[in-house]
Amino acid sequence: MVDARVARNWASFLDPADWHAFAGLPKRGRYMLQAGVLVLSPRHHRELLEHVYHRYEDTGGEQMNYEMRPLSFEIQERNLQHLLDARFNALVSMLLLQKEMELGRGLSPQEITALLTSEYRRNYFLHFAGRHELMVGRAVPDPRPGSF
């Protein structure tokens, strides 16, 4: 059985404005800013973070991305976004999904390890949001020469 609210949530990912609106925010925004890696300073961003903390309730938990949607919205409302190279925050769940769609099937544990090793070489940071189980007890050696 398909949960209609979950289906609508996933559909909202197709358009940034819809993604914000699904969380009860105004239907605006050109981006879905992923809040996993942010470059901030207290002097320049304290008011923004305090505003989001005090203004918005955590409605929906993980499925609604915790504070990410209101923070994404408020950053854009203030025109503070400066997009980073995607290699600074490569989302493991999206990398796995892309590979599974290419192959038309799920990945074996060995294929997951190989993909993560390959992506670790290509990216500056792998973000395991929603896939933390892939990190627990599975140390992948650093494949770069001279790494400790």
Query: Looking at this protein, which amino acid is placed at residue 29?
Result: G
Single pTM value for the model: 0.74
pLDDT at 141 over 60: no
Best CA proximity match to 57, nearest among 46, 45, 69, 42: 69
Q: Summarize pLDDT for 78-123 with one digit per residue, the tens.
A: 999 999 898 998 999 999 999 999 999 999 999 999 999 999 999 9
> How does the average pLDDT of the chain come out, rounded?
86
Domain boundaries, the chain: 4-77, 86-134
User: Measured between alpha carbons, how far is 58 from 19 in angstroms, rounded to an integer?
Assistant: 15
